[in-house]
Structure 1
């Protein structure tokens, strides 16, 4: 069974798996979760993957599920991509499995990427340059990108400020410079068969993401991580006009709940004909569901 877009009310392209079904919470990651919960004013208790699936199923929202592999960048133990893929396969009518591979893993990471795509149904990838301590265009990541491009899959790249590390001494050692959207522009040129989803409104570099999405047919923006009531005004302006087919709904679960994002979006100034594109139709095209 696969997702039938006609049977869901929305598609959330940005949902985190932060609790393994098998392993305890990593103590290093716990410190970052503490700080992020304070920053987002969110519940410190992270939902399990089955709890996340039940939550979205109750609301009839399909979603892309992923963890963040920052084992080299942060020294944190990741949740296995195979765990995410296996549980997603059991709920294929609502869950779209994405994988995350730390770019430092290079060719070995590319082997994992290929196996995940060919044998475990993974439909996309997630990168977080800040957490992974990696310039998005560093050549060490190119073997992984080559696999993604070969299968013409989408990849989500964190952009802008990061709630991870906010308020911690030295930002928890995380470098915000790797969240600058323009750092991804070279990769979008080098891999025209990849679909690039720039996550979040990209503040303080919002205009860079808008320019890249306008300039390149393989670049899109997901509007996760912020309540729409706080979006920079140019995000609403371009979503209503030139980029109405480039914007995607994303919540950033569990730190932002999808229904709260949707309620705020209805009041944010999106045109009536644009909101359905953002909530579902654009994602159907980008994710190859239609």
Structure 2
């Protein structure tokens, strides 16, 4: 997956690009900043940690579609949404978690969402959430609204980064809009599964779906990545083993059966059945495929 900063290089001045990408000092020389940025991009390859828990995407004080009517800035949020992210209780923790990952998927690396809140001990906490993938950089100043394509892109990004246990594991995300380097593909060769849905819509019920790549199930469970593979649960009485869903995400089956052929170079699924239980024909190409590192 190519980091957004690489795409920005052609349209933004060097100091802005490099400072946004790597947090370089403002008084450094532009040439040095560019070299440092290119080195950071090459070594990182845009791979992302995942730790968004399913609970953050289930009904809590901040629902995803509460963010769509306004720009993605603190000053533009509705009073209810602002109260949700400043809540010192458990719902506030979930709300901030959801917001942080939404910002990461939607905004560019040179964009941030900053605010402060007061915890239960009266201590003021400052939050700065930085963009990563830039699926909707314009959301910083313009409401997301009913743009279902972008809603689905951000949802797929969020879903792919979910982890039942909140365990941070570096993953490679790939789809029709993101390129990947040979180094990234070599470092993350295990195809885990695919994710899609829409949790931002204000006109239909939110949904999350996933499918698993059969060859990646064992590695996914080894890394505690159960949202595509499903969590194995053993009945203590009968000994029967069942597969549990990942929160509100519905695991619809094997990607090899439900998705179209994979990209020849990057290995991602080009599209999957949107809702196999309803139609065996309707497909979506707004799908995110995740890849894992191999077993040691």
TM-score range, shorter chain: under 0.3
Higher-Rg structure is: 2
The TM-score normalised by the length of structure 1 is 0.27
Q: Would you tell me which structure has more strand in proportion to its own residues? A: 2
The TM-score normalised by the length of structure 2 is 0.27
Q: Would you tell me which structure has more helix in proportion to its own residues? A: 1
